Structure 1
Amino acid sequence: MIAEKALVVFSGGQDSTTCLFWAQQHFSEVQAIAFDYGQRHKIELEAARSIAEKAGIQLHIFRMDLLGQLTQNALTSQEMEVEEAKPEDRPPNTLVEGRNMLFLTYAAIFAKARGIHHLVTGVGQADFSGYPDCRNDFILSLNSTLNLSMDYDYTIHTPLMWKDKAAIWQLADELGVMEIVQNETVTCYNGVKGKGCGHCPACMLRNRGLENYLNSKKA
């Protein structure tokens, strides 16, 4: 365990919840930060509050609803339907442009004011679904930019970067939080807790990963 503080960018979903408990095992003190960015399903923030409380981690929530006014996407607009199949020629309409960059930037500002050098985020390239701000190259670039822009030594940790969903379920199981991740997180694009709606892209990816992991345990 590193005897330093870490700040987890937390949404209440499968990936960030797994990262939250991963951080608890790797750092002596963990805090979490979440953003109300105008997402259509506030149940995400409710889940984040509940999970952070169970984990004994202080959660800070900040409003950033301007993001939903700057760009049109299915996660901030009530008028757009979530695409159930990934388009061939563009990212899915659930992409919130600039979200991870802004979240990590604001998290870095918050962290520096509190002497925190370690940022943890649940982005991953293995199942990145066409989101450019989940790629490793982006994280490395932003890490360098944050260090330069604030003259401060940050390390952005991405424990899920090279894991597919089955491997993420395995990590949750190894951390002893499989039940919490299965039943209390909100990954579904339609805002359904736990197993989700079952048919949106996020649910299909999550549920296929769970099935693959459980099958691998039987083998």
Structure 2
Amino acid sequence: MNKDKAIVVFSGGQDSTTCLFWAKKRYKEVIAVSFDYNQKHKLELACAKDICKKHNIEHHILDLNLLNQLAPNSLTRQDISVDKNAPTEGLPNSFVDGRNLLFLTFVGIFAKQRDINAIVTGVSQSDFSGYPDCRDVFIKSLNVTLNLAMAYEFEILTPLMWINKEETWKLADDLGVLDIVKEETLTCYNGIKGNGCGECPACKLRKNGYVDFKNKYK
């Protein structure tokens, strides 16, 4: 088992990009894996590809189009608009059923073929928008399941699990990649790079965190 390598689940967004550079500080070699599930805004894959190329990181895009067929929602369908505000009941319509479950499972299979045990993902329970597959209990449960399923000792690492968006911006700054994260990533549910549309829940969360970070640390 190669302890000098890690694989990052990489979307090209704020959180996964911060995790990518967090991993680069800790491992000799980092591999980024992204997923094409026919998402509405393919620009996120272009962002992921560009960041990896610029920083000489091995990058793979895996085909997961079946997820699009199984779980229609506002991130995969042109005719479904993203909720501007969190619903009073139930999950937001930007939640993709099974996405992190499938992403981490496929990355686990990929990692085992390369004799790598460290898997890094940017999920966070502190600002998880109600997504059940961003919770610590889910990650710990899946870690055990993957180990049992493949008779292999995976370690799923979640650097952002217990920090909020303000602290995530601070982490990016500490890593020396604040400008990269601010200008080159795509977090917006409406597919606008950098600061985004400013209206969707992801943009509001990102912007509010940045304002708090600037007020506190700059």
Q: Please tell me the TM-score bracket, short chain as reference.
A: over 0.9
Deviations along 1:94-123, whole A, 9 cap, x unmatched?
000000000000000000000110000000
Counterpart AA for 2:143: N
Aligned to 2:216: 216
* Residue aligned with 1:111, SS: helix
Q: Which residue of 1 aligns with 2:143?
A: 143
Q: Which residue of 1 aligns with 2:42?
A: 42
Query: Which residue in the other structure is 2:111 paired with?
Result: 111
Which secondary structure does the structure 2 equivalent of 1:6 belong to? strand
Aligned pairs for 1:25-174 within 5 A: 25-174=25-174
TM-score scaled by structure 1?
0.98
Deviation at 1:38, TM superposition (A): 1.1
* Aligned-partner residue type, residue 103 of structure 2: F
Extract unaligned runs of 5+ from structure 2: none
Q: In the aligned structure 2, how far is the partner of 1:109 from the partner of 1:36? A: 17
* Residue of structure 1 equivalent to 2:188: 188
In the alignment, is the contact (CA less than 8 A) between 1:3 and 1:28 conserved in 2?
Answer: no
| Structure-2 separation of matches of 1:16 and 1:143 | 19
Aligned partners of 2:55, 2:145: CA distance in 1, in Å?
31
Deviation at 1:3, TM superposition (A): 4.9
Q: How far apart are the structure 2 equivalents of 1:176 and 1:59?
A: 21
What is the match of residue 177 of structure 1? Answer: 177
Query: In the alignment, residue 66 of structure 1 is paired with which amino acid?
Result: L
Which letter does structure 2 place at the counterpart of 1:82?
V
Measure the CA separation in 1 of the matches of 2:12 and 2:178. 14
Q: Deviations over 1:45-99 (max 9, x none)?
A: 0000001112211000011111011012100011100000000111100000000
Q: Distance in 1 between matches of 2:55 and 2:25?
A: 12
8 A Cα contact 1:9 1:16, kept in partner: yes
TM-score by length of 2: 0.98
How far, CA to CA, are the matches of 1:154 and 1:11 in structure 2?
A: 21
Mapped partners of 2:79, 2:66: distance in 1: 17
2:205 aligned residue: 205
Letter in 1 for 2:87: P
For residues 217 and 122 of structure 2, the distance between their equivalents in structure 1, rounded to whole angstroms, comes to 24
SS at match of 2:86: coil
Structure 1: 4+ residue segments shifted above 3 A: none
Aligned partner letter, 1:124: S
What is the total number of aligned residue pairs between the two structures?
217
Letter matched to residue 180 of structure 1: I
> How many angstroms apart in 1 are the aligned matches of 2:217 and 2:117?
37
| Native 8 Å contact 1:9 1:104 kept in 2 | yes
* Structure 1 SS opposite 2:116: coil
Percent identity of paired positions between Structure 1 and Structure 2:
57
Deviation at 1:139, TM superposition (A): 0.1
8 Å Cα contact 2:3/2:118 also seen in 1:
no
Q: Secondary structure at the match of 1:117?
A: strand
The amino acid across from 1:87 in the alignment is: P
SS at match of 2:59: strand
